A and B are shown apart, each in its own frame.
Chain A
Amino acid sequence: MNFTFTEEQLLIRDMAERFFRDEYDLDTRRKHQAMPGGFCPETWAQFAEMGWLALGIPEDLGGVGGGSVETAILMEAMGGGLAVEPFLSTVVLGGGLMIRGGSPEQQGDLLPKLAAGELLLAFGYAEPQSRYDLNDVATTAKADGGGYVLDGAKCVVLHAGTVDKIAVTARTSGDVRDRAGITVFLIDADAPGVTVRDYPTVDGLRAGDVTLSGVKVGVEAVLGEVGNGLELTEAVIDRAAALIAVEAAGVMAATTQCTVDYLKERKQFGRPLGDFQALQHRMTEMYMETELTRWLGYMAVVRQDGDDRSAAARAAAQAKAKAGQAGRLIGQEAVQLHGGMGVTDEMFVSHLFKRLTMIDHVFGDAAHHVERLADMDIGDAAA
Chain B
Amino acid sequence: MELVLNPEESAFQKEVRDFLRTSIPPEIKRKVDLGLKLVKDDYVVWQKILHERGWIAPSWPKEYGGPGWSPVQRYLYEEELAAASSPRLITFGLKMLGPVLVEFGTDEQKARYLPRILSSEDWWCQGFSEPGSGSDLASLSTRAVRDGDHYVVNGQKTWTTLAQYADWIFCLVRTSTEGKKQAGISFLLIDMKTPGVTVRPIKTLDGGQEINDVFLEDVRVPVDNLVGKENDGWTVAKFLLGHERFGIAGVARSKKQMERVREIASKEMKRGRPLIEDARFREEMAQVEIDLTALEMTELHLLSEQAAGRKPGPESSILKLKGTQVQQAITELLLEAVGNRAAVFDPAILDDDWPGPGNDGPAIPEHAATVASHYFNWRKASIYGGSNEIQRNIIAKAILGL
| CB–CB A2/B396 < 8 A | no
* Residue numbers in B under 8 Å from A114 (CB-CB): none
Chain A residue numbers with a CB within 8 Å of B287 are: 370
Q: Which residues of A contact B283 (CB under 8 A)?
A: 370-371, 373-374
Partner pick for B1 among A3, A281, A291, A381, CB 8 A cutoff: A3
Contact of B3 among A264, A275, A302, A381 (CB under 8 A): A302
**Residue pair A292, B298 in contact (C-beta under 8 Å):** yes
**B6-57 interface with A by 8 A CB criterion:** 6, 9
Contacts of B396 in A (CB 8 A): 277, 280-281, 283-284
**Contact of A292 with B294 at beta-carbon distance under 8 Å, contacts A260-B400, A280-B400, A370-B287 already known:** yes
Q: Please determine whether A284 and B392 come into contact, CB atoms closer than 8 angstroms.
A: yes
Neighbouring B residues of A375 by C-beta, 8 Å: 282
Q: Mark A86-103, 1 if CB is under 8 A from B, else 0.
A: 000000000000000000
Closest to B283 in A: A374
Q: Which of A358-375 contact B (CB under 8 A)?
A: 370-371, 373-375
Which single residue of chain A is at the shortest CB-CB distance from B303? Answer: A3
Contact between chains at B3 and A370 (CB < 8 Å): no
Interface presence of B301 (CB below 8 A): yes
Contact A370 to B286, CB < 8 A, known contacts A4-B301, A281-B389, A283-B400: yes
Which of B276, B285, B402 has the most chain A CB atoms closer than 10 A to its own CB?
B402
A318:B307 contact, CB within 8 angstroms: no
Q: Is the CB of B285 within 8 A of A377?
A: yes
Judge whether B1 and A298 touch: CB under 8 Å.
Answer: yes
Question: Is the beta-carbon distance between A283 and B322 smaller than 8 angstroms?
Answer: no
The number of residues on chain A lying at the interface, defined by a beta carbon within 8 Å of a beta carbon of chain B, is: 40
CA separation between A252 and B322, bound complex, in Å?
A: 18
Instruction: Find out whether the CB atom of B393 lies under 8 angstroms from the CB atom of A296.
Output: no
Whether A322 contacts B300 in the complex (CB less than 8 A), given A1-B5, A284-B400, A288-B395, comes out as: no
Task: Beyond A1-B4, A2-B304, A381-B266, list 5 extra A-B contacts (CB 8 Å).
Answer: A1-B3, A1-B6, A277-B396, A280-B400, A296-B290
The distance from the CB of B156 to the nearest CB of chain A, in whole angstroms, is: 29
Q: Given the known A-B contacts A298-B1, A306-B4, are A3 and B301 also in contact in the complex, defined by CB atoms under 8 Å?
A: yes
Complex Cα distance, B302 from A288, in Å, reads 13
B297 x A280 contact (CB < 8 A): no
CA distance A143 to B293 in the complex (A): 46
CB nearest neighbor in A for B73: A1
Q: How far is the CB of A178 from chain B (nearest CB, A)?
A: 23
Q: Is the CB of B9 within 8 A of A295?
A: no
B2 at the interface (CB under 8 A from A): yes
> Which A residues touch B282, using CB under 8 A?
374-375, 377-378
Q: Are B399 and A3 in contact (CB under 8 A)?
A: no
Evaluate contact between B9 and A275: CB separation under 8 angstroms: no
